[in-house]
Amino acid sequence: MKSIYSLLLPVTAVAFSSIPADPIYPSSSLNTNNDNTNNNNNMPRPTETTSDHPFYDVDATSSPWRIALDIGREPLARMPFEWARTGCRMPLVIPTDFAINDEKASNKKNVLAPHSDTVSFTGPNGAVVRPIIGEGWELSKDERTLSFSYTVPEELKRRDVYIEAGSTLVMTGRVYTKKELDRLNANYYQAREELWEAGGELGDIYDRASASKKWDEASSSWVKRYDNENPFKVAQKQLSYWGAKAKQGRKMAERPDLNELSDRGNLPGVEGGVYIAKEGVVRVGKGGPVCGKWSARPITGAPASYRS
């Protein structure tokens, strides 16, 4: 009589043989250079030179990011009254390379290169696929504001949320370089240390004032263990503590909430990389009305984090 293990072995082998070696990322043998298919798998696009992307050459310094747009009505937006009135949103995910076509050339250009020439979303009647064109990106001189844009050749529409054909979506958002974030953290830690020191000194005064009495043999009575503090000294210590507490509050407010930042990713020309704040602003045209918000996440090939 055959054992149950010998009967189950062929079935188990067949079942596990149908699972790919890497269920998250496609095999490197797959063709990832096809610009006619929508590629939202977050894989970094190989460096290439094609006629479709004339500025995207083998000398480019690029950084892949997953750009997620959340198009819909925002508070106090100047969009038409009927636009997104139902509260509908239109989510768009555009894996994109932030690149510089030639760092050494005098005519270097910041290139925004989507991994696919189309973007897709789910509408009331199923999947909707529309072309998308990356225009360019710019980092402010103080390295605090990132702006970039896409052009929509055809209309994007999901119920009463729509972007007209030929419109340009302009994204702006706050970024923190590693250098800036390290400085903000150092300032906060220093302010916290000053608060702890001021609080300790003030606490010592209160401890001495409330200390238990000691027996005095000369007077045959219980007397204070410590002399009374100078009231001016006590007031000075209190002012120092309140000032240190206010300073710590200011420094803490200057630091961004880590839950409101992306993971650190590379950006051409920025040493150490950047963190991009969530819920950046999406506008229709430069200086146009707000039509949504956006966030970004670096594409590194590392396992995704599920902490948020």
| pTM reported for the whole predicted model | 0.72
- Average of pLDDT values for 272-289? 95
- Average of pLDDT values for 27-37? 38
What is residue 19's predicted lDDT score, i.e. its pLDDT?
Answer: 36
219 vs 5: which has the higher pLDDT:
219
Residue 296: pLDDT over 70: yes
pLDDT tens-digit map of 150-185: 999 999 999 999 999 999 999 999 999 999 999 999
Place of tokens 């969530």: 278
Place of tokens 């747009």: 69
What is residue 7's predicted lDDT score, i.e. its pLDDT?
Answer: 42
pLDDT tens-digit map of 110-143: 999 999 999 999 999 999 999 999 999 999 999 9
36-40, 69-73, 74-78, 153-157: lowest mean pLDDT where? Answer: 36-40
Distance CA 294, CA 76 (A): 17
